[in-house]
Amino acid sequence: MRIDVVTLFPDFVRECMKSGVVGRAQQRGLLQVQAWNPRDYATDAYRSVDDRTCGGGPGMVMMIDPLRAALQAARGAAREHAVKPARTIYFSPQGVRLTQARVEQLAKMPRLILLCGRYEGVDERLLEAEVDEELSLGDYVLSGGELAAAVLIDAVGRLQEGALNDALSAQQDSFSDGLLDCPHYTRPVAHELGGVPAVLQSGDHAAIRRWRRKQSLGRTWLRRPDLLARCALDDESRKLLEEFRQEFEAASRQKD
Ligand code: 4HQ
């Protein structure tokens, strides 16, 4: 997969992608990230990329032309990565919330172009003409789209075939089946902070699988009931969740 990022901070974006799974995916040739700076496409003597907001008031807005030229350069590069024109994504709090389901779809695309805004954002006419999809990370305000782009690259990068050393681990992530992840433990099994649940030391793989599923269901019920409402649970899952609820309620009664 190839991702082109249009940003006033190309070094920051490149630096973000160096470590861990995503850095390795790039080294393995599974992911190619290139940054494009709209300032390199500015045409005036000051290399301006922003201007005052029309209508007055505080803040600056990113101008159409340097961004359009940078996008055009990005699209023109490495055309072999796509038959169709690359999908262009802009990040802002006005966008659709990014979910793991969308990440999984985007990860399959051969190519993406990510547009990062700074200041008050980008001239609306450029967004209308050049952007296919507007995404938000959440209901808070960042100082620029770069961290949002880095989040998306991280989330799609780790899903590239061969990026994770253990292919099964992606299947067991939080959200991969719409539920939160179960708790994890490692050695030592005896520690002053407590023990490890006995079932995880039993070697009974069916019992371990059931325990993990039950914990996932229970935690989703406790922490993210909104997610649980969207899940179609099978008979076993409903039974496990009912067990979790009863144990949880019994434990709460003990505390009072
Ligand atoms: N911004 N999710 C404003 C965000 C944001 C978010 C990015 C702030 C773009 C111009 N991006 N700039 N939340 O807060 O994606």
Same domain, 102 and 228: no
The closest alpha carbon to 176, from 69, 235, 99, belongs to 99
pLDDT number for residue 173: 82
- CB-based contacts of 164-172 (< 8 A; 24+ apart in sequence): 164/21
Active site residue 93: yes
> Given 158, 212, 213, 219, which residue is catalytic?
158
Residue found under tokens 């802002």: 92
Give the CATH number of the domain where residue 187 resides.
1.10.1270.20
Q: Structure pTM?
A: 0.95
Same domain, 134 and 184: no
Instruction: Give the C-alpha separation, 187 to 234, whole Å.
Output: 33
Report the separation in Å between the CA atom of 59 and the middle of ligand 1, taken as the mean of its atom positions.
15
Residue found under tokens 């002053």: 192
165 belongs to a structural domain: no
CA distances (Å), 159 to each of 82, 200, 232, in order? Answer: 19, 28, 25
Q: Could you read off the pLDDT tens digit of each residue along the chain, which spans 256 residues?
A: 999 999 999 999 999 999 999 999 999 999 999 999 999 999 999 999 999 999 999 999 999 999 999 999 999 997 777 777 899 999 999 999 999 999 999 999 999 999 999 999 999 999 999 999 999 999 999 999 999 999 999 999 999 999 998 877 777 788 878 999 999 999 999 999 999 999 999 999 999 999 999 999 999 999 999 999 999 999 999 999 999 999 999 999 998 8
68 belongs to a structural domain: yes
Give pLDDT tens digits for 7-23. Answer: 999 999 999 999 999 99
Give pLDDT tens digits for 181-206. Answer: 999 999 999 999 999 999 999 999 99
Report the separation in Å between the CA atom of 145 and the middle of ligand 1, taken as the mean of its atom positions.
5
Same domain, 137 and 54: yes
167 belongs to a structural domain: no
Instruction: Give the C-alpha separation, 12 to 229, whole Å.
Output: 39
Same domain, 151 and 185: no
CB atoms within 10 A of CB 186: 6
Report the separation in Å between the CA atom of 179 and the middle of ligand 1, taken as the mean of its atom positions.
27
Same domain, 218 and 105: no
Instruction: Give the C-alpha separation, 123 to 246, whole Å.
Output: 55
What is 185-229 written as a DSSP string?
Answer: --S-SEETTEE--GGGGS--HHHHHHHHHHHHHHHHHHH-HHHHH
Residue found under tokens 């253990």: 166
Virtual CA dihedral for 178, 166, 87, 139, nearest 10 degrees?
Answer: 40
Active site residue 124: no
Q: Closest Cα to atom 11, ligand 1: which residue?
A: 92
Last residue of a domain, one of 157, 187, 207: 157
The closest alpha carbon to 217, from 249, 252, 183, belongs to 183
Which residues are near ligand 1 (CB < 6 Å)?
A: 91-93, 117-118, 121, 136-138, 140-142, 144-145, 148
Q: How many domains are contained in the chain?
A: 2
Instruction: Give the C-alpha separation, 85 to 112, whole Å.
Output: 9
69 belongs to a structural domain: yes
Q: Is 31:157 a contact under the CB 8 Å cutoff?
A: yes
Same domain, 146 and 52: yes
Instruction: Give the C-alpha separation, 38 to 173, whole Å.
Output: 37
Report the separation in Å between the CA atom of 53 and the middle of ligand 1, taken as the mean of its atom positions.
17
Segments forming the whole domain that contains residue 117: 2-157
Q: Is 1:31 a contact under the CB 8 Å cutoff?
A: yes
